[in-house]
A and B are shown apart, each in its own frame.
Chain A
Amino acid sequence: MAAPGASKPTEAELTEYSVQAQAWFKENTVRDPGFMLPLTFMEVSTDEQFEFLCDWQRKVYEAGYLGASWPKEYGGGGLHPDYQRAATRAMKDHDAPIMINAIGIGWAGPLLLDIGTEEQKQKYIRGMLSAEDIWCQGFSEPEHGSDLGNAQLKAVRDGDEYVLNGSKIWTSLGDRAKYMILLARTSNNEGDSKYAGLSFFLNPMKVPGIETQPIKKLTGEYGFVQCFFTDARIPAEGLMGSEGDGWKIAMKTLEYERGAKVNLAGGYFLKELDVMGIVDVARRSTRGGKPVLDDPIMRDQLVEYMIDIQAQNLNNYRRRMPALVQDRPMGLPLMSKLARTEMIRELTEFSLQFQGAKAGYYVGDDNAVDDGYWHRSYLNSFSATIGGGTSQVQKNIVAEHVLGLPKGR
C-alpha cells in the first residue's frame, strides 16, 4: 500500500488511516481530567484547563491528526483533506476535548496560508498547530461590537514600528495569547469611508503597553479579557497586506470563522451538544411521578429539536455536494453559524425545563443536575449567538448575500 499523500485517497487508504486514527483517539482521549473541561475555546478560565488543553492539542498535532492537510513545509502533514476529515471524525467519535488554539488554526492560519508571505508562514504556522503560540482576536471594541468597520484603535507608523493606542474587548484567551490578529485604524481621512482607514496586524501581545483585564462572564466564570493598548510599539512587519487593506482581510477571516471555507486544519473548537444527553436528562427527571420523557409535550418538543440538529448535520454534508446546492451555493455555509448557535441556545434552555424545582440549583451545589452543566451550557451559548457577529447581524448577511435583499440604510 502506498504511503498517504496529497492526492485523493482510495477507499482502502482512507479506511486504513481512519482505523489508525480511531485507535489513537481511543487510547489517548482523556475524558475526565479531574476538573471541568471547557466546552468551547471561549470558556477557558483556569490555569489547569489552559495547560491541559494546550498539551492535548500538541499531542494531537504530534500524532499527525491536526493540520494533516496543511503544507508540509510549514509544519503540516501534506495530506489530502479527506485524511484530516477522517481524523476529525475520530476525535468526535471519541468525544475528544476541543482544540484550544481556535483563532490560530481557525482564523489566522488559513489567512496566512491564503495571503501570507513565505516568511510569515514559516514563522507562525507550526506554533499555531502545536499550541505553543496561542492566538487571540482583536476586532471588537467597547463602543463598536457589531459595527466592526468603525474600529477606532489607532496604529501610527513610526519608523520600523507602529504605535498602538486604544482598547479591544471580548478577547478570548487574550491574557494567555502570544499573538493577536488585530484590526486597527491607520488613517482617518475625512470623506473616506470608515472602512478605508483600517489595517490588519499580526500583533505580538507580550510587549510593554499592552495590558489585559479579565471580564467576569454571566456564568460567573472568566475567559474573556479587555485589552488596553497604551503607546504599545509593535514591529511594522506585522502589517498584513498594505495599510487600508484591513477590512478586506478581516472579512476574509470571518469567512473562515463563519464556516464559508472548509477548515483545513481540522479539529473543532466547540463541543457539539449531545442531544442524546438531553434525552437522558428527560429520562432521569420526573414530573408528577413520571419520567419527563413520557410527557407528550416534552417528547414532541424534543423530537422537533432532534429534527433540527439532524438537519444541521445533513447541511454540513450537503454543502460539500455541489449538485445539491446549485441554486444558492453560499446559503448553507453562510447560515451555518446562525442556525447552529441559535439551536444550541434554545435546546440548552429547554433542558432546564425538565429539571423541575432542581432547575433552581447552579454550579457549585451538589444537588444540581449534572453539576450545573446545563445551566452553564445555556448561559455560555450566548457567547456564540453574540460573538463573531450577533445572530441579528448574521441574518442581515444571509438576507443580503444569499437572498439578494438590499442593505438597510
Chain B
Amino acid sequence: MDNLGTIGSSEEQVELMDVATSFCRDKSPVEKVRALMEDVRGYDPGVWQEIAELGWLAIAIPEEYEGVGLSLAEVVPIMEQMGRHMLAGPFMATTLTAQALVAGGNEAQKSTWLPKVAGGAIATLALTEKEGDWNLDNVTAQATASGDGYALSGTKQFVTYAQDAELVIASVILDGVVRLALIERSVIADRALRREAIIDETKRSYELTLDEISIGADALMDADTSKAALAHIDLAANLLQSAEMCGGTQAVIDYTLDYLQTRKQFGKVIGEYQALKHPITDAYISYEKARSHMFSAAHSFANQGRGEVATRMAKAAADKAYSHAADRAIQFHGGFGFTHDCDAQLYRRNAIWNASQFGDAAWQRSKLANLLF
C-alpha cells in the first residue's frame, strides 16, 4: 500500500489555510449564507472582488499568464474553508475552467483567457447532459462546421453560475470526436439559459441550450488536448469537491456538537447519551480519515497514476464522511432537525450536490477497483 502516496504540505498551502480560515469565517456567517440563498445571483459580488484581489483565482495559473504559478494543492485549503463556511460563489467553476484552459487550451486561448480569469472574470464549464452521465466522454451536443466557424447544438445541464460567466467551456462532438468549445457569454442569448432548481440552495446552476450559438474557428480545443483536458477536469473537480466536502463535514459535526452540548432531555445534556455520543464520534473519525485523504490527494495530484488513485479515494472518503455526518446531524437535532431553519439540511443538501457532480463514492470506488486490481 506504500505506493498509494503520502502527505506533504507546502508553506504556501499552510499560509493560505490560515488566511482562508479567517476570511471565509468573516465573510460568510450563516445569516449571510441564508440571505444569499434568497438572492437571485446567489453570491456577494463584493466578496468575489475581494477573492480576486487576494489572488486566489490566480493560484494555479502559470506565471506566464499572470497567475501565481502554484498548483491545485494550494487551492485545496481555500476550497476547504469555503466549504466549511458555505461561502457562495463561482470559485470552483472558475478555477476548474482555468484548469481546462491550462490542460487543453492552445497558446492563443490561454493568453486570451487565463489573465482575465486570474483577474476575476467568472468562467464555467458545460459538460453534463440529460443522461447525467459522470463519464465526461459521453457527449451528444454537436459542433457543425458553418461558415468560418461552427454552429453548436444540444443542451447542457448544471452549468453553474452561467448567468454571470464571461466564458463557458462546453464539450461537443465534432466529426465523432469530443472537443471543448470556448463560448463567450456575449454570444449566449438570455433565453438560452434556464435557472435550474437544485438541491443545494446556496449555489446557482443553469441549463444551457446551445442551438442558436455559433463560435469562431479558433474557439475549439484540439481533439487530443480536449481529451486530456476532460480527464484533468474530472480529477481536479473531484479534488476540489473533496476539499469542499471536508470543510462541510467539519462544520456539520461542530454544529451538531454544539447542540449535543446544550440541549437537555430527561434531565441530561443529550451529549451524555452514548446513543448520540458514539455515532457522532464515528462521524468525526470518518471526517479525519477523509481529511487525511484530502491532503494526500492535494500532495499527490500532479503525480501520474498515484494522483488519480489518491484523488478518487479522497472523493470517496469525503462523500462517505459528509453524507453520513450530515444525515446524522438532521436526526440528532430531533424535531428542529426537520425544519428548514436548522442548518443540518444545508450541509446535507450540499453533500448530495457534491456527490451528484463528477461522481459519488460508489462511482469513485468502481474506478478505483479497476486502477487497483
Contact B277 A299 (CB under 8 A): no
Contact A409 B316 (CB under 8 A): no
Q: Residue-by-residue, is B299-318 near A (CB-CB < 8 Å gives 1, otherwise 0)?
A: 00000000000000100110
Which of chain A's residues 305-333 have a Cβ closer than 8 Å to chain B?
Answer: 306-315, 317-318, 321, 323-324, 327, 331-332
Closest A residue to B366 using CB positions: A300
Contact A279 B7 (CB under 8 A): no
CA distance A392 to B366 in the complex (A): 32
Q: Residue-by-residue, is A264-288 near B (CB-CB < 8 Å gives 1, otherwise 0)?
A: 0000000000011001000000000
Closest B residue to A298 using CB positions: B369
Q: Count how many chain B residues have C-beta atoms less than 8 Å from C-beta atoms of the other chain.
A: 42
Q: Which residues of B contact A404 (CB under 8 A)?
A: 257, 261
Contact A395 B277 (CB under 8 A): yes
Q: Does B266 contact A (CB under 8 A)?
A: no
Q: Which residues of B contact A402 (CB under 8 A)?
A: 284
Q: Which residues of B contact A87 (CB under 8 A)?
A: none
What does DSSP make chain B's interface, helix, strand, loop or mixed?
helix
How far, in Å, is B9 (CB) from chain A's closest CB?
6
Q: Count how many chain A residues have C-beta atoms less than 8 Å from C-beta atoms of the other chain.
A: 44
Q: Residue-by-residue, is B275-316 near A (CB-CB < 8 Å gives 1, otherwise 0)?
A: 001101110110011111101100000000000000001001
CA distance A179 to B369 in the complex (A): 49
Contact A313 B288 (CB under 8 A): no
Q: Does A191 contact B (CB under 8 A)?
A: no
Contact B365 A310 (CB under 8 A): no
What does DSSP make chain A's interface, helix, strand, loop or mixed?
helix
How far, in Å, is A18 (CB) from chain B's closest CB?
14
Which of chain B's residues 343-373 have a Cβ closer than 8 Å to chain A?
Answer: 362, 365-366, 368-369, 372-373
CA distance A398 to B4 in the complex (A): 28
Q: Does A289 contact B (CB under 8 A)?
A: no
Q: Which residues of B contact A398 (CB under 8 A)?
A: 281, 284-285
How far, in Å, is A399 (CB) from chain B's closest CB?
5
Q: Does A136 contact B (CB under 8 A)?
A: no
Assuming the contacts A275-B1, A299-B369, A321-B7, asked whether A405 and B261 have C-beta atoms less than 8 A apart, the reply is yes
Contact B373 A299 (CB under 8 A): yes
Which of B7, B271, B281 has most A Cβ within 10 Å?
Answer: B281
B-contacting residues of A (Cβ < 8 Å)?
275-276, 279, 293, 296, 299-300, 302-304, 306-315, 317-318, 321, 323-324, 327, 331-332, 335, 338-339, 392, 395-396, 398-399, 402-409
New contact pairs (13) apart from A300-B362, A300-B369, CB-CB < 8 Å: A279-B372, A310-B1, A310-B4, A310-B293, A311-B293, A321-B7, A324-B295, A331-B288, A396-B278, A399-B281, A406-B269, A406-B272, A409-B272
8 cross-chain pairs, A with B, having the tightest CB-CB distances, nearest first: A311-B289, A314-B292, A405-B271, A299-B369, A323-B14, A303-B365, A399-B277, A317-B7
